[in-house]
Amino acid sequence: MITFRTAKQCGHADYGWLQARYTFSFGHFFDPQMLGYASLRVLNQEVLAVGAAFQPRAYPSVDILNLILQGQAEYRDSEGRHIQVATGDALLLAAQAGVTYSEQNIGSTPLTRLQLWMDACPSRENAGVQRLALSDQPHLLLASPDGEDGSLQLRQQAWVHHVRLEAGQSLMLELKGSRAYLQSVHGTINIDSPLETAPPPRHGGASQGDSADGAANPTLLTCGDGAFIHNERRVRLRAQTPLRALLIDLAD
């Protein structure tokens, strides 16, 4: 089952120095029906003005994944670690009890980033800071439980896929968990779940709810839209325009 969620349904904030869109309840935005999805607790797109900063603060036991879409940022923690990242970088912070973290836009342009929080398994310990430069390839495993294929290592059974497609290109992804979430960063995309065996067409056409090539429940997303995916073994992504997206595969 695939359930559509538009960018307009998300929470929004404009503080001048910070503009944000919240997929799940966060800050002043509270929706009792949107408290997270499996281990995915936060999915925010935020724009920080030049010179703006988040002052030191503590986090719950989560892995914080930042994708820098545009600009430059510096992250520091109370244990003396600091790192600078820029457009095209992914940064994973393993939040620890008793440690505070700060962030500042150090560039000459607004900083645009996508941030995910994922619940961390209490028995797992990973490096406090991990960094990865994103490639332009159509599919990149960005983060995984075991750091496979050079991906960032999570403290959770989850797999984060980074997708870049040109208009007309498609990609099939097998899912490991029973739930997943698809986020269009920019561009328009069709998502469907191909059937094991396409049913015979009715009255010479595609059956109701299916496409002619055996796909069930096609869903179209555009910039900032998302989709909840539940109990699907695989999904097919087809770009209608140049596309950048994240698929977050979640175990229960």
- Average pLDDT on 117-128 reads 91
Supply the pLDDT for residue 90: 98
Q: Are 247 and 143 in contact (CB under 8 A)?
A: no
- Average pLDDT on 105-128 reads 94
Supply the pLDDT for residue 195: 67
Query: Domain 2-200+210-250 class?
Result: mainly beta
- Average pLDDT on 10-39 reads 93
Instruction: Specify whether the backbone of 17 is left (phi greater than 0), alpha (psi in -120 to 50) or beta.
Output: alpha
Share of the chain above pLDDT 90, in %: 82
> Three-class SS of residue 204?
coil
Summarised one tens digit per residue, pLDDT across range 49-81 is 999 999 999 999 999 999 999 999 999 999 999
Supply the pLDDT for residue 211: 37
Please provide the average confidence, as pLDDT, over all residues in the chain.
Answer: 90
pTM of the entire structure?
0.89
Long-range contacts of 140-149 (CB under 8 A, 24+ apart): 142/65, 142/90, 142/246, 143/65, 143/90, 143/92
Lowest pLDDT segment from 15-24, 67-76, 196-205: 196-205
pLDDT interval class at 147 (50, 70, 90): very high
Alpha-carbon distances, residue 250 vs 67, 137, 231, 232 (angstroms): 19, 23, 11, 12
Supply the pLDDT for residue 25: 94
Q: Look at residue 97 and tell me whether its pLDDT is greater than 50.
A: yes
Supply the pLDDT for residue 185: 95
Residue 149 backbone phi and psi in degrees, to 5? 55, 30
